[in-house]
Amino acid sequence: MDQTFVDLAFSADNNALLIALTVVFALVVGSFLNVVILRLPVMMDRAWRRECKQLLDSPPLATEHSEPVSLAYPPSTCPHCGHRIRPLENIPVLSYVFMRGRCSGCQERISLRYPVVEIVTALVSVAVVLRFGPTWHTAAALMFTWALVALTVIDLDYQLLPDSITLPLLWAGLVINQMTGVVPLQDALWGAVFGYLSLWSVYWGFKLLTGKEGMGYGDFKLLAALGAWLGWMALPTIVLLSSLLGALTGICMMLFKGMKRDNPFPFGPFLAGAGWVALLWGQELRHYWP
């Protein structure tokens, strides 16, 4: 048998196994991301309320929830009836399909978003693996990707980009570039600086001109994190692509959904999407800019 054919067949088998393992693992990660997306804003809200009460020295409200909430506790339950989700009911995607999208306790519909987040996490993870192959760069890129998935959905739900994700993401980008040199550390450092200052300048310029806040500080931190991972050279691509997508989406929302110009509109998902695209195809895209 021709050796070239054997090598190609072996390579194809390895790629298929790698993709299959990536899908399984990424579905599990996507299930965890659903927990992060659901609980992290609740944890932050409770922490803010405790801090405000301490500052105001006010007594606790009688209606305040006393049960602690973390990413690990309490166990997952149905939001309608409180039915505790059993392990077999918590298998990513498959449990949703087998239960026909309904709670086994009360038969109320389970949000379609849970399997969608899991499937999207698997798809973008496979794209990363196919792009970079079985390397340490892939492992770092997967962590970067999963953080962006969580930030995207949280910002869509709450118009919030948690510091507990954006700031570790920023520092991780600097550390990884120091260790692996995906981009030179100097480029990563200036990417973080320019990423933050660019949107910070836009924010204050808009506020001075209009008296309104055009975006949140979380957007500054997210772009700083993207710059720390991808270097300052990637920032024009990210800003241009995210602004274009954001503008087109905003126009479509106004035309077809009746959204008004003054309605709040999260920009984080567009930054995250543009950053992910720049991670995979940033060098190719930069050839199209002057």
Question: Rounded to an integer, what distance in angstroms lies between the CA atom of residue 153 and that of residue 273?
Answer: 11
Q: What is the dihedral of CA 232, 233, 239, 242, to 10 degrees?
A: -110
pLDDT of residue 104: 80
Please state the separation of Cα 45 from the chain's center in Å. Answer: 19
pLDDT of residue 6: 37
Q: What is the pTM of this model?
A: 0.86
pLDDT of residue 84: 82
Please state the separation of Cα 74 from the chain's center in Å. Answer: 23
Contact between 92 and 123 (Cβ < 8 Å): no
List 77's β-bridge partners, or say none. 84
Quickly list DSSP for 186-249: HHHHHHHHHHHHHHHHHHHHHHHHHSS--S-HHHHHHHHHHHHHH-GGGHHHHHHHHHHHHHHH
Question: Rounded to an integer, what distance in angstroms lies between the CA atom of residue 170 and that of residue 177?
Answer: 11
pLDDT of residue 22: 93
Please state the separation of Cα 243 from the chain's center in Å. Answer: 18
Closest C-alpha to 179, from 138, 240, 137: 137
**Per-residue pLDDT for the chain (290 aa), expressed as one digit of tens each?**
444 443 434 455 678 888 999 999 999 999 999 999 999 998 898 888 888 878 777 655 545 555 677 777 777 888 778 778 888 778 888 888 888 888 887 888 888 899 999 999 999 999 999 999 888 889 999 999 999 999 999 999 999 999 999 999 999 999 999 988 789 999 999 999 999 999 899 888 888 888 777 778 899 999 999 999 999 999 999 999 998 998 888 888 777 777 776 677 789 999 999 999 999 998 787 776 54
Single-letter residue type at 90? N
The CA angle 106-111-115, to the nearest 5 degrees, is 120
